[in-house]
Amino acid sequence: MGYGITTTFANNLLNTVATDTAFSVSEVWIQVYIGDPGASGDANLADLTTREQATFQVSSGIMSLLTFPAFTGTTTEIWVAYAAWDDPSLTGSDHVLWTAPLATPVNATNGGVYTMPAAGIALAPIAS
C-alpha cells in the first residue's frame, strides 16, 4: 500500500463535504509496526499489540501536531511505522485512519518505555 490515509477515511472526509454526512473521530489510537502496516493495519504488527491514545494540538497553518503516547516494549524489535485508529479495541469495529513511518525507528526492548517525537499532520497542498 505504501503510507497515507486509507480509503475509508478519505471517503468519510469527502462524504462530509459532498453529501452532508456527519463524520467525526472522537479519539485517535496509535499502534506500532515493524514494517509497512498495509491498508487494513494487519501487516507487520509489532509484538506490542496494545493501542495507546494520541493527542492533538489545535490546527494552525494547515497543520495539527500529533503527540505520541508512551509505549512499553514487550520484546526486542525495531518499530518503524505506526497506524492511527479510530478505536482502541481489536474487535473489528475499528478502522485505520492513516499509516505513516516513524520519524526515527525505535529499538524497543522488553520493558523499555518509548515516546516517539511528535508528528505534524497536514492537509496539503493548499491553493494560493
Q: Give just the sign of the alpha carbon dihedral 92, 32, 81, 123.
A: positive
Q: Which cell numbers hold the place of 3? A: 503510507
Say which amino acid occupies 83.
A
Question: How confident is the model at residue 125, as a pLDDT?
Answer: 77
pLDDT tens-digit profile, the chain (128 residues): 589 889 988 898 889 889 988 888 888 999 999 999 998 999 999 999 899 999 888 787 777 888 999 999 999 999 999 999 999 887 778 899 999 999 999 999 999 999 998 888 877 777 87
Cα of first residue to Cα of last residue in the chain, in angstroms, is 30
Residue 50 CA to residue 89 CA, distance in Å, equals 9
Length of the chain: 128
The CA-based angle 88-28-73, given to 5 degrees, is 60
CA distance 32 to 44: 9
- Distance, in Å, from the CA atom of 54 to the CA atom of 32, rounded to the nearest integer, reads 12
